Amino acid sequence: MSKALFIVDVQNDFTEGGALGVDGGDAVAAAITRHLAEHAAEYALIIASRDWHDGDSDNGGHFAVGEPDYVQTWPVHCVAGTEGADYDPGLDTASVTHHVKKGQGRPAYSLFEGTTDEGRTVGELLDEHGVVDVDVTGIATDYCVRASALDAIDHGRHVRILTDLIAGVAPDSSERALAELGHAGAEIVTSAP
């Protein structure tokens, strides 16, 4: 049985000081780096996703034209090739086996909606490597972490949410997301053994 690690959207625009900065984002980046230093060899795949939006469009209504509603529409963020779309500097990506870009002209929350630069999907990569178990980390608990974990469950994987390696937009919505994930079959655990 193979295991994968998902690192969801640990990007400058989602950590402190970014366009949609989440409290605790920098700390999550550093904690994931420590986790990788100790556990990278345990994973057959380490997949990191990034929002990667077009700078010259509203990305299918994802970027608000007027005031964002912070549900379906958002301020401009993670524009392809900008510093905001870069990984947080606290995240060491040296052991990442696959980088996935999602968005690219349309709304996208789940890591499964992205592709590698070679056009490979996450589902294909998991199948190819016989991955059964997936550990999920990243930002934000209540949006892209939630969507990625639910998709992994839908793809028949056993999912663990590593709660010390995630950060959410708001405490209430993050709590609801974790409850939903637990109900869907995910294990809600910490990264410590």
Please tell me what DSSP assigns to residue 84.
Answer: G
Active site residue 78: no
In degrees and rounded to multiples of 5, residue 100 shows phi and psi of -120, 135
**Choosing from 3, 51, 144, 151, which is the catalytic residue?**
144
Q: Three-class SS string for 28-48?
A: HHHHHHHHHHHHHHHCCEEEE
Strand partners, 139: 167
CB contact at 8 A, 97 and 49: no
Separation CA 175–CA 171 (nearest Å): 6
Separation CA 88–CA 13 (nearest Å): 8
The two most distant CA atoms of the chain are separated, in Å, by 48
Active site residue 9: yes
**Choosing from 9, 13, 51, 88, which is the catalytic residue?**
9
**Choosing from 3, 26, 102, 135, which is the catalytic residue?**
102
Q: Within its chain, how far is the Cα of 86 from the centroid?
A: 13
Active site residue 102: yes
| Angle between helix 171-184 and 146-154 (nearest 10) | 10
Catalytic residues: 9, 102, 144
